[in-house]
Amino acid sequence: MAKSQDAKKNVKKEAQKSAKEKKAEKREKKAKKG
Write the pLDDT tens digit of every residue in 12-34.
777 777 888 889 999 998 888 76
By residue range, what is the domain housing residue 29? 1-34
Give the chain's radius of gyration (CA, Å).
15
CA distance 9 to 16: 11
- Give the model's pLDDT for residue 1: 53
3-class DSSP state of 34: coil
pTM recorded for the entire structure: 0.42
Structural domain count of the chain: 1
DSSP state of 28: H
Which whole number is the average pLDDT over 5-12?
A: 75
